[in-house]
Amino acid sequence: MQIGMIGLGRMGGNMALRLVKAGHGVVGYNRNPRNVEPAVTAAVTLTPSVAELVRQLQAPRAVWLMVPHGAPTEESIDTLLGLLGPGDIIVEGGNSRYVNSARAGERCAQRGVHFLDAGVSGGVWGLEIGYCLMIGGPKPAFERLEPVFKALAPKDGYAHVGASGAGHFVKMVHNAIEYAMLQALGEGFECLQRSEYGIDLARVAALWQQGSVVRSWLLDLLTRALREEGNDLKHIAGYVDDSGMGRWSIAYAVENAIPIPVITQSLYERFASRQQDRFSAKIIAALRQQFGGHAVKKE
């Protein structure tokens, strides 16, 4: 299958590579082609403009957006709606707010273009192990692109979760849960680090992976981070950013009177990390770098 990919950065570039390895044809565009990894440049048919990308796709066309949420996403959708025709598909794979995705679905439907919002989880590891895909939008469009989803995801790693907006809603809640899980790991390992026992944190993280109730992929990544950076994480500042999804989840919960105190507190702890240096924040920053390639502040 042929698909266009707009945005060939850390996530989009690896997704394009995974698609090409599975036998799909990818026509790509990146605002700054010099920022595209050489491996992606070699595998993808790069175009100098979105218009040229659309011209190189055979109808009915499908274009996947992997650009930052907000204005870049809205502008990309507007551009594509001026170039695509009835029956074509736009897949929006960024971390957009679900209400914006629902509105984009309505806007596309008015032009006869199908819109799928795809929550994507997997970070920098997706190229190797696949991406978990949470997809909202018209079911026929989802079914048409199933070969693409199968290529990107691990076994049973993709699903149609509802109408337009549902994919990004599910991803929003997924990330809110992630906030709380990271916070719990950060606080627990700070307790271990500050104890009088001189505990080897990397050894404990690896130990807990062997049959314990809290074993998880995050503990695998924490073991890796502690071994790479040292148990004291002295080169990582205790500064934790947030992408906005935690804030959106809390706003949704407030609007619907849903108590989510743990997730709410985990967001506030991220705010606090920018004002004081806590070891728990170092743990969270190190984990975000491991699974998502997020930048960390160095000390």
> Which residues belong to the active site?
171, 178
Over the range 146-175, which residues count as b (16 or more CB within 10 Å of their CB) and which as e?
A: eebbebbbeeebbebbbebbbbbbbbbbeb
User: Rounded to whole angstroms, how far apart are CA atoms 255 and 176?
Assistant: 16
Residue type (1 letter), 214: V
In eight-state DSSP terms, residue 79 is H
Please state whether beta strands 132-136 and 114-121 pair in parallel, antiparallel, or not at all (unpaired): antiparallel
Q: What is the largest CA-CA distance in the chain?
A: 67
What are the helix (H) ranges across the chain? 10-21, 38-43, 50-55, 71-81, 98-110, 126-129, 139-144, 146-152, 166-193, 201-207, 217-229, 245-255, 261-273, 279-292
Query: 3-class secondary structure for 129-141?
Result: HCCEEEEECCHHH
Q: How far apart are CA 290 and CA 271, in angstroms?
A: 21
Q: CA nearest 144: which of 202, 106, 87, 195? A: 87
Count Cβ atoms below 10 Å from residue 89 Cβ, excluding itself.
Answer: 25
- List the structure tokens of 220: 């695998």
